[in-house]
Amino acid sequence: MSDTPRTLHFIEQIIEADNASGTWGVWTPRDNAADKLRAGKPRVHTRFPPEPNGYLHIGHAKSINLNDSLARKYDGKFNLRFDDTNPAKEEQEYVDSIIRDVVWLGGDFEDRILYASDYFDQMYAYAVELVKKGKAYVCDLSADDVSKRRGTPQIPATSPFRDRPVEESLKLLDEMRRGVHPDGSRTLRAKIDLASPNFNLRDPVMYRIVHETHHNTGDAWCIYPMYDWAHGLEDSIEGITHSICTLEFENHRPLYDWFIDAINEGRSEPGNPWGPPIHHPQQIEFAKFRPTHTVMSKRNLLKMVQAGIVRGWDDPRMPTISGLRRRGYTAQAIRKLVDDIGVTKTESMIDLGRLENSVRDHLNRIAPRAMAVLKPLKVVITNWPKDSSGMPIVEELDYVINPEDEAAGTRKIQFSGEIFIERDDFMESPPKGYFRLFPGNEVRLRWAYFVTCTGVEKNAAGEVVRVNCTYDPATRGGDAPVGPDGKPTKKVKGTIHWVSARHAVDAEVRLFDRLFTCEVPGDRTGNYEDDLNKNSLDVLKGCKIEPHVAATARFRVSELQVAGHAVRIGEGDRLQFERLGYFCVDPDSATSFGGAGNADAGLVLNRTVTLKDSWAKESGKA
């Protein structure tokens, strides 16, 4: 995704060394065109293996980007594989959301949406093989007892069933598989090293009994493989070359290798009963990153959804992919960010502001401009011409759609004698350095005219309810008049945005702030709820927007067919309201705007991110 060349990160270095030495062989032509193009090139095959027990978040985007980018860069393959080995936590809803998010992020898995659960038969056969080789046994200890007997770094673990005869273990494993035994009564364990300082090697559980319906295999199984047993086999079966995971699995790598080595033991001998050796991929670990001001674990995200702190997994304040999408983030901005962060073994803390910068950057280039007034203040232009019936005339002016993109062109915008401006853009007695509208001051109305404030009208409470101005007809289009010397005859410091009162359309606008008030929620008290930002959502009604926005901006749903799955991805049109920030249409909008809300909902807009505002910063300091 990166446009500037950079040095290779450590995983790319490993891959290039492997490619140079021919570690993983080359692709052979198969039936599809992509395979024919790959033929003869060194094999690079990555995968993204989420458990479908929650929605994907920005951290997953880094992994998706990494694995997908490597496959693209080295003309390899990238699999989407569900690591669905625990029916107690997994749901179809999560499978669907993950497919949607990976597709949206541009992960190119072609037709390969795969399920670990599709390999259960093969895994079971391998397990029987390990029992027969004396490398695994059925253990009758309860979970509690295993825990009590786990030992300490100095004291080894114990199990009285370690030396159970192979035949007995085989019989019991078969019974476990057939549903003879209740949940938790027995496990299949690998016979490795009860004294290992790495607790993962103290005879880890390979299978546990769980009588539960699985979203993919239904009731076919009542024993389910554990992560360590399953994961390397999944990679092996799929021919994965580089099995990339996060740092916390470093302690599991010896186990990853042990299981495959155990299966391969004896398999290279001619005439062995097991068959040829199986593929042994390489596990490589990289560091996750942590954005500030949010929680990231699926566990905590789920808690916030369940506790109603947010409206759902796709709440625009959530760090989930679906939340960011609803907020108005683009997939490109997300991928650019995770690409910029880099790939290392150092855990990093990324300021949330960096995420905001990356969308700003992208949206600045692509978002059409429009005007909206969030907190309206009426302005009457007292010298504006009226028609024969006494109504203020309406003029059509040219509006540049995107100054960053000349090809976007211009459109027409209506202007008349009564407009709304932002309350913040007027002050009766302004502080030093304020160059918006105040009595006696002249400002430019964007793409329209220069106006000078001549007075205000107040209500009984003393609040300004109307501002009177005069306009300068010589400034039509917002251009300063030019004198005979070719130079502008006057200049104004401020340009403010506006919406014609007669043409304005009402909309609801939702403003978001960070979910938490400190960088690391729960850091002080151990409970992230103590750091919740009570004001993370601000809903403004009666915002005034250009009719052009109401006429064109929509929430759009695309229906795709991906690898046999129907995938629906909804995205709101994105735009910039000048001087305010980037906004997108929310699915809560009425159906006439493409949303799912009722007719009264009208148009609902989310603010993705503000524009940078050096005045707010400066005046905040004073």
- Name the segment binding RNA (CB under 7 A); options: 326-334, 335-343, 386-394, 555-563: 335-343
**Which member of 43, 45, 135, 252 binds RNA (CB under 7 A)?**
252
Q: Are 617 and 609 in contact (CB under 8 A)?
A: no
Q: Which is nearer to RNA, 196 or 533 (CB)?
A: 196
Q: How far apart are CA 138 and CA 141, in angstroms?
A: 9
Q: Are 105 and 62 in contact (CB under 8 A)?
A: no
Structure tokens at 148: 């009590």
Q: Which is nearer to RNA, 147 or 598 (CB)?
A: 147
Q: Which is nearer to RNA, 601 or 609 (CB)?
A: 609
**Which member of 60, 77, 327, 579 binds RNA (CB under 7 A)?**
579
- Name the segment binding RNA (CB under 7 A); options: 31-39, 206-214, 257-265, 598-606: 206-214
Q: How far apart are CA 435 and CA 432, in angstroms?
A: 9
H or E segment and range at residue 231 = helix 227-238
Q: How many residues does the chain have?
A: 622
At 537, is the secondary structure helix, strand, or coil?
strand
**Binding of RNA by 353 (CB under 7 A):** yes
Q: Which is nearer to RNA, 447 or 555 (CB)?
A: 447
Residues 420-459 that bind RNA (CB under 7 A): 433-436, 444, 446-447
DSSP output for 186-226: -EEEE-S-TT-SSGGGSS-EEEEE----BTTTBTS-SEEE-
How many chain residues are in contact with RNA, going by CB under 7 A? 97
Q: Are 408 and 401 in contact (CB under 8 A)?
A: yes
Structure tokens at 412: 């027409």
Q: How far apart are CA 291 and CA 621, in angstroms?
A: 26
Residues 371-410 that bind RNA (CB under 7 A): 402-404
**Binding of RNA by 611 (CB under 7 A):** yes
Least distance CB 529 / RNA (angstroms): 19
- Name the segment binding RNA (CB under 7 A); options: 121-129, 326-334, 572-580, 585-593: 572-580
Least distance CB 163 / RNA (angstroms): 18
**Which member of 28, 92, 272, 348 binds RNA (CB under 7 A)?**
348
Q: How far apart are CA 161 and CA 141, in angstroms?
A: 8
Residues 4-33 that bind RNA (CB under 7 A): 7-10, 13
Q: How far apart are CA 419 and CA 398, in angstroms?
A: 17
Least distance CB 597 / RNA (angstroms): 28
Distant-in-sequence, close-in-space partners of 364: CB < 8 Å, separation ≥ 6: 404, 576
Least distance CB 214 / RNA (angstroms): 11
**Binding of RNA by 219 (CB under 7 A):** no
What's CA 119's distance to the chain center, in Å? Answer: 29
Q: How far apart are CA 523 and CA 172, in angstroms?
A: 47
Residues 519-548 that bind RNA (CB under 7 A): none
**Binding of RNA by 79 (CB under 7 A):** no
Q: Which is nearer to RNA, 130 or 601 (CB)?
A: 130
**Binding of RNA by 359 (CB under 7 A):** no
Structure tokens at 460: 């009984």
Q: Which is nearer to RNA, 40 or 182 (CB)?
A: 182
- Select from 565, 558, 557, 559 the least CA-distant residue to 98: 565
Burial of 471 (0-12, 13-18, 19+ CB in 10 A): buried
Distant-in-sequence, close-in-space partners of 378: CB < 8 Å, separation ≥ 6: 418, 419, 420, 465, 466, 467, 501
Q: How far apart are CA 119 and CA 586, in angstroms?
A: 40
**Which member of 46, 187, 236, 332 binds RNA (CB under 7 A)?**
187
**Which member of 93, 111, 219, 248 binds RNA (CB under 7 A)?**
248
Residues 253-292 that bind RNA (CB under 7 A): 287, 289
Per-residue x/- marks for RNA, 115-154, CB under 7 A?
--------------------------xxx--xx--xxxxx
Residues 464-483 that bind RNA (CB under 7 A): 477-479
Per-residue x/- marks for RNA, 32-51, CB under 7 A?
-----------------x-x
**Which member of 204, 316, 319, 595 binds RNA (CB under 7 A)?**
204
